[in-house]
Structure 1
Amino acid sequence: MTLSSDRLTRFARHIVLPEIGGAGQVALSQAHVILVGCGGIGSPVLQYLAAAGIGRLTLVDDDVVDVSNLQRQTIYTPSDIGKPKAETAAEWVRRFDLGLKVDAVVARVRGDDAGQVLSGASLVLDGCDNFATRLAVSDSCVNLGIPLTSAAVGRFQGQIGNFAGHLADQPCYRCFVGDAFDAEDCDTCAADGVLGAMVGMVGTFAAMHAIRVLLEGHAAFGDPQFGTLHLIDGLAPSMRALRITKDPACKGCGVSS
């Protein structure tokens, strides 16, 4: 596959980078990313994945835009209040770049239908707001053999990691959090608060991390760093990384699963 002249011009600043180049840009144009959650994390993720030329995007969210979202969910405006986030986000993509394919799924990913929603992705990026969905997404990615970029934020803390639990030597997201959070109830931004710029920092880092996975084998930037969790402290500010080990007893990706 080759890029048309207008696409070469649009992505020239990528292509001139020796760590990405033309081959890397072509790989991005052939990728299909499914974004679970079109909220605070999903907004900057979507903006930078679309700007990177990801060829196909599927946007999954069951919520509608609320006025309180506008403090951090930067793709929405007051005129979008009350509209489904997934459909509104898809319209943003269509206005931004007619060369991208985008689909909206107005639904919440649950364990019994996760495989149907996520099937066919090159990568799934999860920026949702509850552990039940996160674990359903993780388990489904393992079953489908799809790499997962997971991003979360609370107050001034962020977590981003790439997982490939379908690989024999790599952990899944469930290896990190265990089974204790298989529930809908969890801390929320409404209860605990969150700085809008902090969400933007986590979202853009997640977009960078997703691009690492998509460029694996195509460009020098393609080091997916599977199983390494990056922790961002927005108050300090600081960042540190820790290695997640594969749990042989994990019911998502372990030998007994």
Structure 2
Amino acid sequence: MNLSDEQLDRYARHIVLREIGGEGQMKLLAATVAVIGTGGIGSPVIQYLAAAGIGRLRVIDDDHVSLDNLQRQTLFGTADVGRPKVEAAADAAARLNADARFEGVRARIAAGNAAALIGAADVIVDGSDNFATRLAVSDHATAARIPLVSAAIGRFQVQVGTFRGWEEDLPCYRCFVGDAFDAEDCDTCAELGVLGAMAGIAGSWAALEAIRAIAGFGAAPNGKLHIFDGLKPAMKTIRIVKDPACSACGNGQAPR
């Protein structure tokens, strides 16, 4: 695969980075990233991954754009209210970069359909808003050996982590949160509120980690959770250990 003159121009700022270069850019152009959710986190994820030249974006969301989304979901405008999010997101991604093939999937992920909806991907970025979805996505990522970038926001806090739970000494997302599975266990932005710019930080950071996983630069983030506090502001990083009894990646895993 060779970069065209137009691509050399478009991605010049990536190519001059020693850590990415032409080889890394070609990896991005050949990659498939599955994005779970087109909300406050998914919006900047899609924007930055499309702009970066990710070859295929498979975006999964069953929701429609509503007026109260617009404070933080930067893919959409007032004219998009009422439209399926994946349709509006496809238009936005096409405006950014025709190199990024967009596959919109209007569906809600659950344990029974995660494998079929996500399919084969090089990286999964999860910006969903409930534990039931997050755990279904995590379990598939672990079983299929796909790196999972998980990003979450609440009020003034951002959490971002990369999980490779199939590896012997690394945790999966389920190791982090346990076997919580009730969507009602997860507080929503509607209940707690969220500063729109925090969603931008979370999504941009998640996009960075997806690009890192594909192009392979910098220190390995696996097994670490980065937490940003927008009130202070301050950041800390904690290490998550593998749970030997985890039902997805540990000794307690169900037979496959």
- Cα drift, residue 222 of structure 1: 5.0
1:253 to 225, 249, 252: 249
Whether the 8 Å contact between 1:209 and 1:224 is mirrored in structure 2 is no
* CA distance in 2: counterparts of 1:109 and 1:30, whole angstroms: 25
- Cα deviation code 1:106-146 (max 9, x no counterpart): 11110001011112100000000111000000001111111
Whether the 8 Å contact between 2:58 and 2:118 is mirrored in structure 1 is no
2:235 to 239, 245, 251: 239
Whether the 8 Å contact between 1:212 and 1:223 is mirrored in structure 2 is no
* CA distance in 2: counterparts of 1:23 and 1:124, whole angstroms: 21
- TM score, norm. by length of structure 2: 0.96
Which letter does structure 2 place at the counterpart of 1:141? Answer: A
1:84 alignment partner in structure 2: 84
Which letter does structure 2 place at the counterpart of 1:52? Answer: A
- 1:190 and 2:190 correspond: yes
Identity of aligned residues (%): 54
Q: Where do residues 152-171 of structure 1 align in structure 2 (5 Å cutoff)? A: 152-171=152-171
Count of residues in correspondence between the two structures: 252
The verdict on how the C-alpha distance between 1:86 and 1:222 changes in structure 2, with shifts beyond 3 A counting, is farther
- Cα drift, residue 223 of structure 1: 3.8
* CA distance in 1: counterparts of 2:228 and 2:100, whole angstroms: 31
* CA distance in 2: counterparts of 1:120 and 1:239, whole angstroms: 33
| Structure 1: 5+ residue stretches without partners | none
Which letter does structure 1 place at the counterpart of 2:234? Answer: S
Whether the 8 Å contact between 2:14 and 2:21 is mirrored in structure 1 is yes
Aligned to 1:71, the other structure's residue is in SS state: coil
- Cα drift, residue 225 of structure 1: 1.1
- TM score, norm. by length of structure 1: 0.96
Aligned to 2:212, the other structure's residue is in SS state: helix
Which letter does structure 2 place at the counterpart of 1:50? Answer: A
Runs of 4+ residues deviating >4 angstroms: none
1:226 to 222, 226, 240: 222
Greater shift in the superposed pair: 221-230 or 141-150: 221-230
- 1:149 and 2:155 correspond: no
Whether the 8 Å contact between 2:54 and 2:99 is mirrored in structure 1 is no
